[in-house]
Structure 1
Amino acid sequence: MKSAERDAFKSDALVAHHFWNTAGGSELLSASVALAFSLIGYMPTLVSVSKIDDLVIKKSFGIDLSSFPRTHAAISINSFGLMMRILLRREINKVIKSTDPEFLFVDSPFYDGNKVRKNGIKVIEYIHFPIEAYFMSLNDRKINLNGDPYIKENYNGIIGSLYFSMFGKISSKFKRENPFDSAHLVLVNSEYVAKIVSSIYSQKPKVLNPPIPPNNINPSELKDFSSRENSIVLLGRFSREKRYHWVIENIVPKVVNEVGDSKFYFVGYSKGRRSASYVNELVSILNKLNISYSFDIRKNARVYLLENLDKEIVNEVLRRSKVLLHATINEHWGISIAEGMSFGLPVVIHKSGGLWSDLALAGKSGVGYENAEEAIQEIVKLINDEKTWRHYSSMSLRRSDDLRIEKFVQRFNEYIKKM
C-alpha cells in the first residue's frame, strides 16, 4: 500500500508478520489473530515485508483476509526468511506514522518497543521461539540449546551455518531488548517455549496455543480402525529439520518388516531449490535402500512423496491413515500434528519441544519416543492393537477439540480485555 493509501484508513489493530505467502505455522497464527481482532470488534491492518497472498492463506487455512487493509514493502527475498524478519521493523515504523491504532500485534522481536509505546499503542508480542536465545551465552539463557537438532538440521552445512551466524550478528542491532519491557502482553505458543523465555528474562509469558485451521474436516466424516489402511503419514514441509531422511533410513525398513502391507505417506509443502534438493536427497536414499516410491498417490508403492497437494487430497490421506508420525526434534509447535489429531490419528512424536509438552501433553494425548527402536515399537503397536489405537485416537480428538478457532478467539479476547 502506498503512503497516500495508508492515509485513507484508520486501523484499530496492526497485525505484523514478515511473510504471508506460505502455509506455515506462523502464517496460520497471524491470520488467526487478524480474524480474531475482526470478530471481537477491531479492524485489523496487515503489515508485511512482502506482498500478501490472500489466496494462499484462504486455500490453506480457510481464513479470508481479502477485506482487511494491508501495507507492505516492495521486497521479496523468500530464500532469506531470517533477514526478512529484520526488515519488518522498518515497515512497522512507517505504518505507525500514518495510522492511529490501539494495538500492535507482532510475532517477531524486530520492532522498536519504546517508539511504539510512546505513540500510545498497546503492544502484543507473540514468541514462536526466542531466536535470540541461540546467540546468548549459556549463563545468560540458563538453558542449554547448544547443538539443538532443530537448528542443526535446518541450517546445516557451511553456507547454512554461516548464514545463521551472520543473522545473529546483524539481528542484535535491530531487535527489541527485553520483551516484557517492550510489550504490554507477551504470548508464546507452548509451555516448552514459555520455559525458555522465562529462563532468559525471569518473567513468565502467557501461553496461547495456535488454533487448528478452520477449514478442517467434519469429525462425522472420520473412519474407524477397521476402515483405515496400515499406513503412516508424516505431514509438514519438505525440509531437513523434519528429518524425513532419518525416517526413511531408520523407520521405514523395520516397520515394513513387521507390518507387511504398511506404507508411508510423506505429505508436505515444497517450494524453491532448497526443497527440491531435499526431495532429491530422499529419492536417492530410497533408491539406495531399494524401497519402491511414487509421487502419485494413485500408483502402487511403499513410500509416497506427495508435494503441494490440494487440501481435499491431504484430508483424504489423513482420513485413510492409521498413525501420524513426527520426527522433528525440539519443534516449538506443530500445526500439522494438531491438524492430524483432529482426524482422529494417534500421534507418535519425539519427546521434546512444544509438541510433547502441549499437544501430546507429555504422553496423555499422544505417544512419545526418544530413538528409532521406540518409535518403531509404538507405530507397530498402534497399527496392530485396536484397543490402543482407539484410546489414542479418542485422546487426539479431545485435544484437538480444545484447539478450535472459536476457542482461540475466545482466549485471545480474554487477554485483550485485561490489557
Structure 2
Amino acid sequence: MSSLSTPFASGPLEGEVKGLGPGKLITLTSSALQEIMRIALVHTLFEEAGGGERLALEMYRALKDLGHEVGLYTAHVNERAWEVLTSGMKDFPRPVVLGEPLVTRLLRRSGRLLHYRKLLTMGYLARYAEGLRQRYDIIVETQSNVPLRWADASYIHFPALIDYMALQARAGGLRRLYYWLIVRRVRALADGTKPLMTNSSWTFEYVRKAYGSQRIYVVNPPVNVEELLPLGGDRGKIVLTVSRIGWGKRVIEIPEVARLVPEAEFYLVGSTSSFSGPVIRELKRRAEGLRNFHLETDVPRRRILELMSQASIYLHPPYAEHFGFAIAEAAAAGLVPVVYRDGGGWADIASRIDEGLGYTSVEEAARTVRSLLNDSERLRALSAKAREVAKGFSYERFKERLNEVIKEL
C-alpha cells in the first residue's frame, strides 16, 4: 500500500480536508486519509521498572508505529530501572528529562514521602506544558493516576484519589494529616472533564466513581504475544511469580504458599527500588528453612523468559491488580494463572480462563496450586485456554485501540 505524507498547507490536497491546522501532516493511503499528530507523552517519574513504566514505553512505540510524531518526557530517570525496562529493546530513545524541584530531589535522596514527591513533581511539570503545546498537538500523561489539568488526556492505572483516601482513613496521627494533605493536593490537580484512558473494565468503574469522568476509554496494556506464545517445553512442578518487590504488592505471602506445597519449586522474580530493602528482609525471614522458595531480583528479561518456559503455574500475590501485566504475560506463555479473586487481573484475564483459578487466602491458593499440579490433563487444557485469552492483549490490538482513542481526543 503506497502512502504520501505532505504538509497540509501546500500541494494538491489543500482545501480537501477539513479541520487540520497549519503545519500538521496528513497521510494518504488507498483506503484512508489519516492525520499525523504531534504527541507529547509525559511519564512523571521513571523510578521503577513496573507495568506502568512498560505501558508508557509501549504507548510511545505504538504511536510511532501509527505514524505520529512522538516525544517522551519525564522529570527523573532511575538508571537501574531504565536498564531493566529497556532490556531486549534495541536503541529505545531515552526520555527527555525536564527536571525536578529542589525539594523533590532532596526527598528522592532520603527515600521518604514518595507520594508527596510524585504530587509535587506533577505540579512542577505544569510549567513545561505551555512550551510543549508550542511543539505538540496533544499532551498525554501516563503515571499520575490523576486527570491533570495541564494534560489533554491521562492514562489512569488506578485513581490516586481513592488510594490516598483509603490510606488516610487507615492512618492515625501525623500520617493521617499527611494523607489529608495529599488528598487535598490531588483534588487541586484534577480536572474531571478531561478524557481518560484506563487499563481494565474493573478499573473503569473506580475511575468514574473517583473523578466523575464521562469520557473514559478502556485500553488494555499490550503483551508481547509473539515473543511468549512459542515458549514451552518440559514444564515441571515450578510455580512462578513476577512482581515488583514492594509492600503494596503483598509478595511476602508467596513463601507462605510455598511452605504449604513443598513438592513444588516457587520462584519469586521482581524489580526493586530504594524502598525494597525491608520487604526483602521480611521475605527472607518468612522463607527461613524453606528449600523450595527462590528469590531473584532485577534479573534480565531472558531469565524471566527462561523461567516462563519451565514453570507450569503462575501465582500472583494476594493483591487486586488493576490490570495484571505479569498475569497476561504468563498466560500468553502457557502458564496457568492462579490469581487473587479481585481486580482487573481476575476479572479480565484469569476468570475468563476458568472460574476455579481464583483464591482469597493463602490456604486456598495452596490447594488450587496442588490440585493443578496433580491433574496434568486439566493443566494442559487450561494452558491452551490461557494462551487463547492472552491473544486479546496483543500489541496489534493495543495499537488499534489506541488509534481509535487518539482520534477521539
Normalising TM by the smaller chain, what interval?
A: 0.7 to 0.9
Matches of 2:349 and 2:363 in 1, distance apart? 22
Secondary structure of 1:402's aligned partner: helix
CA positional deviation for 1:57: 3.1
Q: Where do residues 12-411 of structure 1 align in structure 2 (5 Å cutoff)?
A: 12-51=38-77, 55-59=83-87, 62=89, 64-66=91-93, 70-74=96-100, 76=105, 77=108, 79=111, 80-86=113-119, 87-97=121-131, 99-107=134-142, 108=144, 113=149, 123-136=152-165, 166-170=178-182, 172-173=184-185, 175=187, 179-181=191-193, 183=194, 185-203=195-213, 205-213=216-224, 217-223=227-233, 227-249=234-256, 251-256=257-262, 260=263, 262-272=264-274, 274-287=275-288, 290-292=289-291, 302-361=292-351, 364=354, 367-411=357-401
Secondary structure of 2:393's aligned partner: coil
1:303-343 deviations in whole A, cap 9, x for unaligned?
11111111111111111011000123222122211111121
Matches of 2:95 and 2:252 in 1, distance apart? 42
Q: 1:278 to 1:134 in 2, by over 3 A?
A: closer
Q: 1:310 to 1:178 in 2, by over 3 A?
A: closer
Letter in 1 for 2:115: L
Letter in 2 for 1:212: V
Secondary structure of 1:15's aligned partner: strand
Secondary structure of 1:45's aligned partner: strand
Secondary structure of 2:306's aligned partner: helix
Q: 1:38 to 1:52 in 2, by over 3 A?
A: farther
Task: Give yes or no for contact 2:48–2:78 (8 Å, CA) kept in 1.
Answer: no
CA positional deviation for 1:81: 3.7
Q: 1:134 to 1:348 in 2, by over 3 A?
A: same
Task: Give yes or no for contact 1:238–1:279 (8 Å, CA) kept in 2.
Answer: yes
Letter in 1 for 2:45: F
Matches of 1:109 and 1:413 in 2, distance apart? 21
Letter in 1 for 2:286: I
CA positional deviation for 1:167: 4.6
Secondary structure of 1:333's aligned partner: coil
Secondary structure of 1:360's aligned partner: helix
Matches of 1:192 and 1:165 in 2, distance apart? 30
Question: Which residue matches 2:14?
Answer: none
Please give the TM-score of this superposition, normalised by the length of structure 1.
0.77
Task: Give yes or no for contact 1:324–1:345 (8 Å, CA) kept in 2.
Answer: yes
Letter in 2 for 1:93: R
Letter in 1 for 2:140: F
Secondary structure of 1:27's aligned partner: helix
Runs of 5+ consecutive residues of structure 1 not aligned to the other structure: 1-9, 117-122, 137-144, 293-301
Runs of 5+ consecutive residues of structure 2 not aligned to the other structure: 1-23, 25-36
Matches of 1:342 and 1:164 in 2, distance apart? 42
1:32-77 deviations in whole A, cap 9, x for unaligned?
12122212222222221114756443216x37541x7624215652
Q: 1:109 to 1:376 in 2, by over 3 A?
A: closer
Secondary structure of 2:46's aligned partner: coil
Secondary structure of 1:187's aligned partner: strand
Task: Give yes or no for contact 1:236–1:269 (8 Å, CA) kept in 2.
Answer: yes
Task: Give yes or no for contact 2:48–2:273 (8 Å, CA) kept in 1.
Answer: no
1:250-281 deviations in whole A, cap 9, x for unaligned?
x222211xxx3x11111111232x31222121
Letter in 1 for 2:161: E
1:68-120 deviations in whole A, cap 9, x for unaligned?
7624215652734423432123224324235331111113256752x66xxxx
Task: Give yes or no for contact 2:228–2:332 (8 Å, CA) kept in 1.
Answer: no
Q: 1:357 to 1:112 in 2, by over 3 A?
A: closer
Secondary structure of 2:136's aligned partner: coil
CA positional deviation for 1:218: 4.7
Matches of 1:239 and 1:356 in 2, distance apart? 20
Letter in 1 for 2:73: V
Letter in 2 for 1:50: H
Give the aligned CA root-mean-square deviation in angstroms. 3.1
1:347-370 deviations in whole A, cap 9, x for unaligned?
000101111111224554871112
CA positional deviation for 1:177: 6.3
